[in-house]
Structures are given as structure tokens and as C-alpha cells.
Amino acid sequence: MGKKPHNPAELVPPDNLGAEAVSRAAAVFEKNPRLLATLDAYHRGYGSLADATRKAFQGPPYVPEGFSVNQFGQILLAIADRIHRGEIQIPDELRRKFREFYSG
């Protein structure tokens, strides 16, 4: 376990996209196992959200075309919140595959 788990619900920025749009976009990004592992590690207190995006996309903090930083942050926090609430289960196998995300 990390130092202090993040509770994404406490960090959600102002809702500029709308809950439905965030949910639709999150459903697409949730299919990325590397992203799920980094957000799970973030939720468990291993690094910041910026660290998670660097690890997930293997480079500088990444914002997909068509999204503002705030909008993409909302999407990532929505996914992290679903992990936190147990709506998205992270299998131990995924944690083992990306174990480097769970240290530090």
C-alpha cells in the first residue's frame, strides 16, 4: 500500500464536460490496462495524477487531442473514482504486470 490513498472524489475539478460526457469518455479509456494500473497506483498513493499520465502514456503528461487539461483530468479522476468505489476491479495479475507503478 502507498503512503496515503487518494480519494479522487475529493479532487474532482469543476464539471466542464458534464457527467454524461465524462462517463462516455471514461468508458473508452478504461479499456487501457496500462492506464488502469497507473490510476490504481495513484489511488493507492503512489504518485500524483501527472505521474500517472506520464507512466500510462510513457512520456510527458499527455492530453488527448480535443480535450483540455482540465477535461482530461476529469476523465482520469472519474476512472480513479470508479476504482476507489470498487466499480472497476483491478486484477492482481495487472498489478503484477505493472508492479513498477506500485513503488516509490
Task: Give pLDDT tens digits for 25-78.
Answer: 777 777 888 889 999 999 899 988 888 888 888 876 667 777 777 888 888 888
93: confidence class by pLDDT, cuts 50, 70, 90: very high
Instruction: Please give the pLDDT value at position 6.
Output: 53
Q: Please, which pLDDT band fits residue 104 given cuts at 50, 70 and 90?
A: low
Give the helix ranges, DSSP H, for the chain: 19-29, 33-43, 49-57, 69-85, 92-97
Q: How confident is the model at residue 91 (pLDDT cuts 50, 70, 90)?
A: very high
Higher pLDDT among residues 88 and 67, named by residue: 88
Give me 104's grid cell.
516509490
Burial class (CB in 10 A: 0-12, 13-18, 19+), 93: exposed
